[in-house]
Amino acid sequence: YYSLPLEFVKKIKQDYPQDWKYFLETTISRPKMTYLNLDPKKQEGEVAYQTERLTYQVLKKDPSSLKIFQSKKAYIQNPTPGILIDNLSSGMDPKTILDLCSAPGGKLILTHYLFPQAQLYANEISSERMKRLEENLQKYDLHPTLFCQDGKNFQYDQKFDLIIIDAPCSNSGVLNKKPEAKFRLEEKNLQELKETQKQLITQAVLQLSQHGIIFYLTCSVLKEENEEIIHQILHENPKLKLLKMKTLLPDLNGLDGGFGAAIQLQ
């Protein structure tokens, strides 16, 4: 099966009995380059995906030749995070937002576009990746408060209305872009990732304001990293309630696979 570990294929068949064959096809499909249009009144190309508040367009030439990139009104990004965050955040108005695993900064640029009035905070564990994050944010004229902490032990003397966790995961929803991720699908690696995912959410809960919300996002399609993690967290913490959950399977048009859930502190 496309040189994927058999154990992984078995899980995909179990998780998606109707769609597993199509999913396997997407793992060898060619990714399509798209960008988030931050000025939808000006469209310079074919629309790839549109949500209630976001427009993604197909990138067919060198971005530096497009006016929209020169004026910093576009960001290269697959539509999946936008589709998930737009869906999860519908009707919300957070005043303070923390992006807990922030580099390279695409989620923060997207979140700022959706909530331009919110105060932004960004955390990144790796000082190397932090440099890239700072460069990206400066380019888009964003100046959040920055932290370089391990998200599993993150502490700050302020609480947040919205915390975004783009969790480390198996990358099983983007195998066409990251073929090396096949090696992350081994059981031992998955157990370690799931432990990290739970620790990140558990720590984030401590930083939520009253009725604050966590967006838990992965680019995995495995239910054990997605729905099952959320159900475990809800079971262990009765003060949390599930608002929404959504899975996107990758498709042959270039959409990445991914998962998003919104949970709220009561």
Distance of alpha carbon 231 from alpha carbon 246, whole angstroms: 14
| Neighbouring-strand partners of residue 36 | 56, 75
List of long-range contacts for 125-134, beta carbons under 8 Å, 24+ apart: 125/101, 125/149, 125/150, 125/151, 129/103, 129/104, 130/103, 132/103, 132/104, 132/105, 133/102, 133/103, 133/104, 133/105
| 219 catalytically annotated | yes
User: Between the CA atoms of 43, 103, 181 and 162, what dihedral angle is there, to the nearest 10 degrees?
Assistant: -80
CA-wise closest residue to 81 among 49, 125, 129: 49
Catalytic residue among 101, 148, 169, 219: 219
- With beta carbons less than 8 A apart as the criterion, state whether 165 and 108 touch: no
Identify the burial level of 180 via C-beta atoms within 10 angstroms of its C-beta, where 0-12 means exposed, 13-18 middle and 19 or more buried.
Answer: exposed
Q: How many residues in the chain?
A: 266
Task: Give whole-number Cα distances, 119 to 14, 115, 143, 176, in Å.
Answer: 42, 9, 10, 35
Distance of alpha carbon 170 from alpha carbon 160, whole angstroms: 28
- Give helix 106-114 / helix 79-89 axis angle, nearest 10°: 40
Give the E-state strand segments of 51-152 in sequence order: 55-58, 74-76, 96-99, 119-123, 145-147
Catalogue the active-site residues.
219
